[in-house]
Amino acid sequence: MQADLPARASARGALLPAAGVCLAGLLAGCTGSTGTTWVQYNAADNTVSIDVGAAAVEDPVSVTLTSNTGAVELGTGTVDPGGGPIGTMHTVTVSVSSDYASDIGRASVRLDSGSRGVDEYDMDADSTGEGYWVVQLQSVGDVGETRTDSLTFRLWTASGADSGSSGLGITL
């Protein structure tokens, strides 16, 4: 798995978290202090596009979340609405199949807003721990601005930090 570029500060992003914390500066292989190494579980191309600054609120957009090879369907990632005027609140959800829910310890969404930058947002797990994750994001931009942002869904599985990890995951 190739290392990802660090995310930029959220002040430059096109969407801002309505609740939760922006997790910026991720590197696939960085080390933190909690002792859990996170390895991406799904394919890197599980992405949707949304229209920011659209004239009207648009229908939800979804992508099938697949295994790293693309051979197995793991669940669904959805952004609702799938576009809208500046200031629109978007509910970003991940629903992981019960067959794989216990494998996923974290979910995040990476936002690419072109010249506005790239941000990563950790999603909140449903209290049941049954493979459902959510974060609310608000689109931001200048008056009259229109663009297409892409959101990439990332599912993470824990790999013991002291197990001789190759450093391919994220440690927090």
* Backbone φ, ψ for residue 64 (5° rounding): -75, 125
Length, in residues, of the chain: 172
Is there a domain that residue 2 lies in?
Answer: no
Q: Would residue 5 count as lying in a domain?
A: no
Determine the pLDDT at residue 80: 98
**Which comes out higher in pLDDT, residue 4 or 95?**
95
CA–CA dist 150, 135 (Å, integer): 16
Cβ–Cβ under 8 Å, residues 77 and 150: no
| pTM score of the predicted model | 0.76
State the total domains in the chain. 1
Domain of residue 93: give its range. Answer: 10-171
57-109: pLDDT as tens digits: 999 999 999 999 999 999 999 999 999 999 999 999 999 999 999 999 999 99
Q: Is residue 1 part of a domain?
A: no
